[in-house]
């Protein structure tokens, strides 16, 4: 069938907002660096945003037996990735599992304000002829060859996304069954204030211009340019990122990516207590006068907060002084 039938082919590779950065986070050195005054400053943080579905647990969303059946074996749970942060910030829920014997994964994501997310989904695929096999209306896109199946559905005031990645074989019926079971236990979302897009840089070049980076890296003027970070598959976390005003930026030369940075307005909560991002909070050791700042022990990623915002920078090849300088430039742009 065609692209929008019950079976359709979509690219298997999708890059989430700030995806790739989570793999760079690692344990801190035993003795974090100190500020010039001799005392390490702790990054600012805010409380984790309240869920629009209080009390809803991953065990309730998908029974372990059903997940193990879908992934054909014993599974373990995963914490949300950094790419899921905007969805949590708007009150959403993220649950993920992985197979202990293969690379198979299953993730369920839920968002309040479902009509808005469905509208974005509809616009993404430029299509209106959807099914009603899951919830009030749903779109299921699968590629058996690539081992990817995604279910997106609208039900009451919520929107659900179920992703199954299994190169050994993925079944649409199993993915849709998991989505239906999850919808049957999800309460209607509570009232939440409408997310506002804060003022500030709304383009990559405004946040950190290519000429600025070229000067810092010492490369030829005009040799770098920003490329689109849009994925080829609809991703709920990306749309949540748009709602909070997040930026995901990638700067490339003619041959390779040299810089990636992320800004999540209001994302300072990500390094607070009680968040799922323990690795990020644990690595917050090294400091700079540019603001709250941490450099991961492997030197690949600089991240931290300025005011209420989350910032993250990675550069290739990794160079700690360059990372610190680029981070400082981002901080300055957020303060302007």
Which pLDDT tens digit goes with each residue over 114-123? 999 998 888 8
Distances from the Cα of 206 to the Cα of 203, 329, 333, angstroms: 5, 11, 8
Distances from the Cα of 71 to the Cα of 62, 103, 181, angstroms: 12, 9, 16
Task: Dihedral sign for Cα 125, 128, 134, 136, please.
Answer: positive
Q: Any idea which of 56-70, 143-157, 165-179 has the lowest mean pLDDT? A: 165-179
Q: Taking Cα atoms as reference points, which of 267, 245, 244, 236 lies closest to residue 94?
A: 236
Number of DSSP helices (H) and strands (E) in the chain, helices first: 10, 12
Residue 15, CA atoms < 13 Å, CB-side half-sphere:
13
Predicted local confidence at residue 145, as pLDDT: 76
More confident residue, 81 or 193: 81
Contact 13, 146 (CB under 8 A): no
Q: In the beta sheet, which residues pair with residue 106?
A: 97, 164
DSSP structure string for 86-133: HHHHTT-EEEEEEESSSS-EEEEEEESSHHHHHHHHHHHHT----B-S
Written as six digits, the tokens of 65 are: 């037996």
Predicted local confidence at residue 301, as pLDDT: 79
Q: Any idea which of 15-29, 111-125, 266-280 has the lowest mean pLDDT? A: 15-29
Those residues with Cβ within 8 angstroms of residue 110's Cβ, 6 or more apart along the chain or in another chain: 53, 56, 61, 92, 93, 158, 159, 160, 161, 182, 186
pLDDT at 205 over 60: yes
162 alpha carbon, distance to own chain's centre: 15
Enter the pTM of the model.
0.79
DSSP structure string for 240-289: HHHHHT-EEEEEE-SSSEEEEEEEETTGGGGGSTTSS-HHHHHT----BT
* Averaged pLDDT of the chain: 77
Predicted local confidence at residue 162, as pLDDT: 95
Contact 282, 28 (CB under 8 A): yes
What burial letters (b/e) apply to 15-36, b meaning 16+ CB within 10 Å? Answer: bbbbbbbbebbeebeeeeeeee
The secondary structure of residue 296, as a DSSP letter, is -
Predicted local confidence at residue 178, as pLDDT: 92
Q: What is the mean pLDDT of residues 146-171?
A: 86
pLDDT at 16 over 50: no
Phi/psi for 203 (5° steps) reads -145, 155
Query: Which percentage of the chain shows pLDDT scores above 90?
Result: 33
Q: Checking DSSP bridges between strand 137-143 and strand 148-155, what pairing results, if any?
A: antiparallel
Written as six digits, the tokens of 244 are: 């909070």
Task: Dihedral sign for Cα 268, 269, 272, 278, please.
Answer: negative
d(CA 271, CA 22): 13
Q: Is 8 exposed, middle or buried (0-12, 13-18, 19+ CB in 10 A)?
A: middle
Written as six digits, the tokens of 15 are: 């890059």
Q: What is the mean pLDDT of residues 62-75?
A: 87
């Amino acid at each position: 069938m065609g692209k929008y039938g019950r079976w359709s082919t979509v690219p298997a590779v999708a890059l989430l907002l700030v995806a790739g950065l989570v793999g760079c986070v690692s344990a801190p050195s035993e003795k974090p660096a100190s500020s010039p005054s001799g005392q390490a400053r702790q990054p600012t943080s805010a409380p984790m945003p309240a869920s629009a579905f209080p009390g809803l647990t991953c065990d309730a969303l998908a029974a372990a037996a059903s997940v193990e059946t879908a992934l054909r074996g014993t599974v373990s749970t995963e914490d949300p990735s950094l790419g899921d942060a905007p969805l949590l910030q708007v009150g959403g829920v993220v649950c993920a599992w992985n197979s202990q014997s293969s690379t198979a994964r299953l993730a369920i994501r839920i968002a309040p304000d479902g009509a808005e997310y469905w509208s974005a989904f509809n616009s993404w695929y430029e299509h209106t002829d959807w099914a009603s096999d899951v919830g009030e209306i749903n779109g299921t896109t699968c590629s058996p060859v690539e081992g990817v199946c995604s279910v997106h559905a609208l039900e009451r005031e919520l929107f659900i996304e179920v992703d199954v990645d299994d190169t050994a074989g993925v079944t649409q019926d199993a993915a849709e069954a998991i989505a239906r079971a999850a919808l049957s236990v999800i309460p209607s979302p509570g009232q939440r204030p409408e997310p506002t897009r804060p003022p500030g840089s709304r383009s990559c070049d405004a946040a950190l211009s290519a000429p600025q980076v070229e000067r810092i890296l010492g490369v030829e003027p005009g040799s770098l340019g920003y490329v689109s970070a849009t994925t080829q598959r609809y991703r709920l976390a990306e749309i949540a990122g748009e709602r909070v005003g997040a930026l995901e930026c990638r700067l490339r030369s003619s041959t390779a990516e040299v810089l990636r940075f992320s800004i999540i307005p209001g994302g300072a909560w990500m390094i607070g207590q009680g968040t799922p991002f323990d690795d990020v909070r644990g690595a917050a050791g090294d400091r700079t006068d540019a603001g709250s700042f941490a450099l991961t022990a492997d030197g690949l990623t600089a991240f931290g907060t300025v005011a209420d915002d989350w910032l993250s920078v990675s550069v290739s090849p990794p160079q700690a002084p360059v990372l610190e300088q680029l981070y400082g430039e981002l901080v300055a742009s957020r303060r302007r």
